[in-house]
Structure 1
Amino acid sequence: MAATVSEQRWRVARTALADQTDRFLDLVRATPPAAKATAHWSVVDTLAHVGSLAWYYVCLVDPEHRPLPVPGLHRQLPDITVDTVADFNDVLLRHLTERDPQALADRLRADVGQLLLASEGRRPDETVPWLGGARVPLAGLCAHLVNELLIHGHDVAHVTGRPWSLPGRDAALFMELFLAGVVRHGYGRLIDGGAPPSERPVVVEFRSAYAAPVRLMLHRGRMTFAAPDARPDARIDHDPGTLNLMMFGRVSRARAVLTGKVRISGRRPWLLPGFLRKFRTPS
């Protein structure tokens, strides 16, 4: 995999963010705001959550932007891990009390527009500080927000049974630009915990039709890129949307495999569960 993000992939990420914002807002407008989108959030809470991330991301790329009204936020960020992200989200929602759907939709659209404007002309691999002390490239920041729109769009669509697709081209950005980006630039404490350190290196290759393969190695508790000539212990051929839904707990691993949208192969596939206990996302 290339050491930097190409301008072409940067354009794809920016276009995907604009397109998926429009799709998500169209869906939310057509859904009862008080209906339950998840076990804990209504549709309007979900909109507020996605909006809080867009607001935060604008602050990361534009220091002049109005900060989030959360006291002590910057002191909390370095200690967050994937296992405590839910607590962080709850803190944001307690302080962001606006629940008028139109006001939230207008703010999300404005903040996404400002994020795209503030990052225009900048290098896609320029990094900003993120949760848990991770460093995220600008392209990865856009890719993460695209994934939030896709995953939470899936939650909202479930309320009324409306169809909601996770287009492969856009869903693939999460692995290619965000996850690979934080491994490349430093993930800090973000994935602390999970699997205990092991002396045996485990190499896993992720492959889809929409991006170059990503080959990662877990060794002694650290996640890095594997050497180009390293033989994978396991390969995951996947539909990116299904993989993302699986990683965020919306689709079970059994279902993802049985549908054929996540296919596991390789010489030592039994090592994959330990790898995934470390290489994980909030679910």
Structure 2
Amino acid sequence: METAVYSARWLAVRRAVGAVGDRFADLLLAVPPHAMATADWTVADTAAHVVAISESYAAMLDPAGPAPPISALHDMMGDVTVDTVADLNEVGLRDLAERDPRALADRLRADIAAMLRATDGTDPGRPIDWLGGSRVPAAGVLAHLVNEMQIHGRDIARATGARWEVSAADAALFFELFLLGVTRYGYGRLLDWDRLERRGRIAVEFRSRHTEPAVMVLTDGLVTVEKPGPNVDVKLHFDPVALNLVLFGRLSRTRAALTGRIMVWGRRPWLLPAFLRKVRLPS
């Protein structure tokens, strides 16, 4: 990504994490905490999950600050894969006992304020150690938290009838700053699995109105990022909100395609499912 574009995205993600954090905190105070936000989590559980993440990120982004608040969570982080994130989440929920919505909202706001202070004037590309031995640019850590609040805010709103909106520009930050960032910096063990790796190359070009064009390439099980070029198998045009919902299992690929929010074409579009089996996120 060009320096000027990256600088603009850095300003955007700093604004977004504060604004979305405020809206998420306000949402927690406006809905019943014991309502089921998902099949397994109440609104209060969902809020605690988000706060477990925000507290961890505040510690990651400020190495000189206080120790990580949930030691058991951080002991597990190095061995996590996409397929075992659920185990990490359960530890976070078990060890963060707070379920009062106002206390959780206050903690979230405080964590975000701490993150913004710790990264004020910092290099947005500063590498941060993340899950599974991966590394993420500082801007990507903020973008990941924005997406967590967007996804779980939607869960809470759908379950309680509250209003929740996600802007495409904010949603796009997850793809550009986090997903491409962790792929470029090194995703460690995150995509490890016990299957045989598909041999060969699959190149998928991603385009949207809110992102710079980028190509993700799966070659013999290894994922890399390239600039757009002629040797592309699949072209994918996406609405960033829809793409994030698909990646996190909130929207089916079929529905996203039928509504035109994700469009796929190219010389070998049938390779996309094989690509997405490897390039996957927790749902």
Q: How does 1:1-283 map to 2 (within 5 A)?
A: 1-2=1-2, 6-193=6-193, 196-226=196-226, 228-283=228-283
Deviation track 1:57-110 (CA, whole Å, cap 9, x = no partner) reads 010111243334434444311110111111101001101101111111101000
Q: Find the aligned partners of 1:77 and 1:214 in 2 and give their Cα distance.
A: 29
What is the CA distance between 1:198 and its match in structure 2?
2.8
Q: Partner letter of residue 199 of structure 2?
A: E
Q: Find the aligned partners of 1:250 and 1:78 in 2 and give their Cα distance.
A: 27
Pick closer, same or farther for the CA change 1:25–1:156 going to 2, 3 Å.
same
| Aligned pairs, number | 283
What is the CA distance between 1:5 and its match in structure 2?
6.5
Q: Partner letter of residue 175 of structure 1?
A: F
Q: Find the aligned partners of 1:114 and 1:74 in 2 and give their Cα distance.
A: 19
Q: Is the 8 A contact 2:200 2:219 kept in 1?
A: yes
Deviation track 1:208-253 (CA, whole Å, cap 9, x = no partner) reads 1001012110001000013543422111111100110111011111
Q: Find the aligned partners of 1:228 and 1:142 in 2 and give their Cα distance.
A: 26
Q: Find the aligned partners of 1:268 and 1:141 in 2 and give their Cα distance.
A: 33
What is the CA distance between 1:161 and its match in structure 2?
2.2
Q: Partner letter of residue 192 of structure 2?
A: D
Q: Find the aligned partners of 1:193 and 1:202 in 2 and give their Cα distance.
A: 19
Q: Is the 8 A contact 1:203 1:230 kept in 2?
A: no
SS of the equivalent of 1:212 reads strand
Q: Is the 8 A contact 2:73 2:88 kept in 1?
A: no
Q: Partner letter of residue 215 of structure 1?
A: V
Q: Is the 8 A contact 2:233 2:266 kept in 1?
A: yes
Q: Find the aligned partners of 2:127 and 2:186 in 1 and give their Cα distance.
A: 10
Pick closer, same or farther for the CA change 1:73–1:35 going to 2, 3 Å.
closer
Q: Find the aligned partners of 1:5 and 1:124 in 2 and give their Cα distance.
A: 12
Q: Find the aligned partners of 1:242 and 1:14 in 2 and give their Cα distance.
A: 22
Q: Find the aligned partners of 2:69 and 2:240 in 1 and give their Cα distance.
A: 35
Q: Partner letter of residue 91 of structure 1?
A: V
Pick closer, same or farther for the CA change 1:5–1:120 going to 2, 3 Å.
farther
Q: Find the aligned partners of 2:48 and 2:73 in 1 and give their Cα distance.
A: 17
Q: Find the aligned partners of 1:228 and 1:243 in 2 and give their Cα distance.
A: 19
SS of the equivalent of 2:83 reads coil
Q: Find the aligned partners of 2:111 and 2:278 in 1 and give their Cα distance.
A: 32
Normalising to structure 1: TM-score of the pair?
0.95
Mark the runs of 5 or more structure 2 residues left unpaired by the alignment.
none
Q: Find the aligned partners of 1:278 and 1:14 in 2 and give their Cα distance.
A: 30
Q: Partner letter of residue 219 of structure 1?
A: T
Q: Please, which moves more after superposition, 105-114 or 5-14?
A: 5-14
Pick closer, same or farther for the CA change 1:162–1:74 going to 2, 3 Å.
closer
Q: Is the 8 A contact 2:213 2:228 kept in 1?
A: no
Normalising to structure 2: TM-score of the pair?
0.95
Q: Is the 8 A contact 2:236 2:265 kept in 1?
A: yes
SS of the equivalent of 2:244 reads helix
Mark the runs of 5 or more structure 1 residues left unpaired by the alignment.
none
Q: Is the 8 A contact 1:199 1:219 kept in 2?
A: yes
SS of the equivalent of 1:213 reads strand
Q: Partner letter of residue 160 of structure 1?
A: T
SS of the equivalent of 2:15 reads helix
Among the aligned pairs, what percent are the same residue?
A: 51
Q: Find the aligned partners of 1:43 and 1:189 in 2 and give their Cα distance.
A: 31
What RMSD, in angstroms, separates the aligned Cα atoms of the two structures?
Answer: 1.7
